[in-house]
Structure 1
Amino acid sequence: MLYAGCKNFPLVMTLPTPKPEAEPAQFSRGTSLHRQLFLVLREEISRGLFGKTGALPKEEALGERFGVSRVTVRRALADLAAQGLVESRHGRGTFVRGDRVSVARPKPTLGLIDSLRQAASDTQVQVLLVEQSEPPADVTAMLQLAPGVRAVHALRLRSVGDTPVMLSDAWVPVPLGKKVTAAALRKQALYEILLAQGVKFGRVIQEITADISDPDRARLLHTEVGVPLLKVVRVIHDPEGHPVQYITVTMTPERSRILMDFAGDAVNTLSAGYFMHEIPVESR
């Protein structure tokens, strides 16, 4: 899925609530069942699907709906309670908390520079790596580098308080990245370092996909191995069309979502996003 100059829009699909007589849900392998149940229930809570009372179904009903044990249900409910989303009322059941904090939608539409500035100001950065090395083949191609040519590689973790929210993996051509150091990145965002050198941003190609957490990313993002992740890849060009930065941002959907905001007359253009499907030949 390629997105040019994307801004912000909630990528949330509304699905009907399963009926009681429906077949039990089928969870995927590789992620603990209680974590998957937690994610589903958290999404339903955020959408207000538990009515005015906020009462969740009984443990037995949840177990039947999702085809899991009551132990799994209890662990998922405990995780929801730990995040302040639900509370247990003795003898009555589990209820959505009325005082839970909701995340407000951004009001104005932000341009690329403003959105980068806001992301930098809203988070704290930990610089994990800065080095010159040969990029992977896909990065080399997108930066239009010759095979074997090195680039500046910067890996950073952004957090809100003690909670990691975003892992940024950036590559910059060496001529533009000479001032990109660990010390500089602790004081300034990467885009600020590039702008200070006279680099100007033009076209942005953005791809949004899902990924699976490996042990390293699971450790850094405080999540489990094998859980789904949001992955955003941006290739930023200068006004002449030369690539100046390739960056991959990885987030957990437990804490982050992607927003887009575009004019109605752009809804059928690449600026609003383009759905691409990769179907195996034997399945066509």
Structure 2
Amino acid sequence: MNIQPMQSKPEIIAATLEQEILKGKISDGDALASESALVKRFSVSRTTVRKSLGILAEKGLIRTRVGIGSFVTFGDKLLDSPAGWSVALADRGMRIGTRVIRIARILPDLEMPDIAEGQFVLAVDRVRFRQDDGTGLTLERSRMPWHDSFAGVLENGLLEGSLSKTLAACGQSASSGKEWANVLLSLGTGEAALMGRTPGEPMLRLRRLTRNAAGGVVEFVETLLDPRHFGMRMEF
């Protein structure tokens, strides 16, 4: 009896994508989904996705083009977990709690691209904090164009405490995106109160916009991060 060897996660993902290519679901010259989209689709790390793409490249099924990617780091270590930042931070040895400040249907209160005047959004505001002293490490404000499928979120909250899982369950999937980073020179009084920090502190500010395959906005998120712990890494 022949015993088939167990396939690794990269091999399983590569085999799945290979079948999609060979069956014509992905045509020659088409772009594959972004690494971030593949991470969410297969619930694996970015490293695993890259190994899968390497297998496809070795078989001559895909061609890669050099681009630039930006990644959030904590203590100079890449935050790379499909389960989200809280799990990734816990893996770094810091006990982290998450507090949901608000889940509501509102008119846009942030400078959000491609949102029509008067269009409602789903707002999800969260603080991640150190459990040892309660100090806020991040303040995350997510805005999603309103869909009727979000109605249950207002009543039941996030699925398993995860915004990514909630969006997926509501049929919202990102296939591309872009991110900006700059420094917020002075933390405002209201933001400081939410984070349990001192007004006037400088913070790292990230803004990320993701879109679906049709080009529509899936999510716009603005995150303030403690620069003593977080940074940005660019790969090209």
**TM-score past 0.5 threshold:** yes
Alpha-carbon distance, 1:180 to partner: 2.8
> Is residue 229 of structure 2 the alignment partner of residue 241 of structure 1?
no
Aligned residue in 1 for 2:173: 200
Q: 1:119 aligns with which of 75, 79, 85?
A: 85
Q: Secondary structure at the match of 1:193?
A: helix
Aligned residue in 1 for 2:106: 133
Higher RCO (CA-CA < 8 Å; seq separation 6+): 1
Q: Counterpart of 1:198 in structure 2: which amino acid? A: G
Q: Secondary structure at the match of 1:153?
A: strand
Aligned residue in 1 for 2:196: 222
Q: Secondary structure at the match of 2:233?
A: coil
Q: 1:173 aligns with which of 145, 156, 159?
A: 145
Q: Secondary structure at the match of 1:136?
A: coil
Aligned residue in 1 for 2:45: none
Q: Secondary structure at the match of 1:129?
A: strand
Q: 2:227 aligns with which of 238, 246, 253?
A: 253
124 and 250 in structure 1: CA distance in 2 versus 1, 3 angstrom threshold: same
- Distance in 2 of aligned mates of 1:9 and 1:125: 18
- Distance in 2 of aligned mates of 1:4 and 1:179: 37
CA contact (8 A) 1:131 1:152 kept: yes
Runs of 5+ consecutive residues of structure 2 not aligned to the other structure: 1-66, 91-95
4 and 223 in structure 1: CA distance in 2 versus 1, 3 angstrom threshold: farther
Q: Counterpart of 1:125 in structure 2: which amino acid? A: T
- Distance in 1 of aligned mates of 2:221 and 2:150: 13
- Distance in 2 of aligned mates of 1:216 and 1:132: 20
- Distance in 1 of aligned mates of 2:153 and 2:231: 27
240 and 120 in structure 1: CA distance in 2 versus 1, 3 angstrom threshold: farther
172 and 217 in structure 1: CA distance in 2 versus 1, 3 angstrom threshold: same
Aligned residues: percent identity?
A: 16
Runs of 5+ consecutive residues of structure 1 not aligned to the other structure: 11-102, 267-284
Aligned residue in 2 for 1:191: 164
CA contact (8 A) 2:76 2:231 kept: no
Aligned residue in 2 for 1:209: 182
Q: Counterpart of 1:118 in structure 2: which amino acid? A: G
Q: Counterpart of 1:207 in structure 2: which amino acid? A: W
Q: Secondary structure at the match of 1:120?
A: helix
Aligned residues: 159
- Higher strand content, 1 or 2: 2
193 and 184 in structure 1: CA distance in 2 versus 1, 3 angstrom threshold: same
Q: Secondary structure at the match of 1:259?
A: strand
Alpha-carbon distance, 1:242 to partner: 1.3
What pairs with 1:143-158 in structure 2 (closer than 5 Å)?
A: 144-158=114-128
- Distance in 2 of aligned mates of 1:186 and 1:197: 10
Alpha-carbon distance, 1:137 to partner: 6.5
CA contact (8 A) 1:127 1:185 kept: no
163 and 9 in structure 1: CA distance in 2 versus 1, 3 angstrom threshold: closer
- Distance in 1 of aligned mates of 2:202 and 2:188: 10
Alpha-carbon distance, 1:147 to partner: 0.6
- Distance in 2 of aligned mates of 1:221 and 1:4: 32
Alpha-carbon distance, 1:190 to partner: 0.9
Q: Greater Rg, structure 1 or structure 2?
A: 1
CA contact (8 A) 1:155 1:167 kept: yes
Aligned residue in 2 for 1:6: 70
> Is residue 77 of structure 2 the alignment partner of residue 105 of structure 1?
yes
Alpha-carbon distance, 1:4 to partner: 7.2
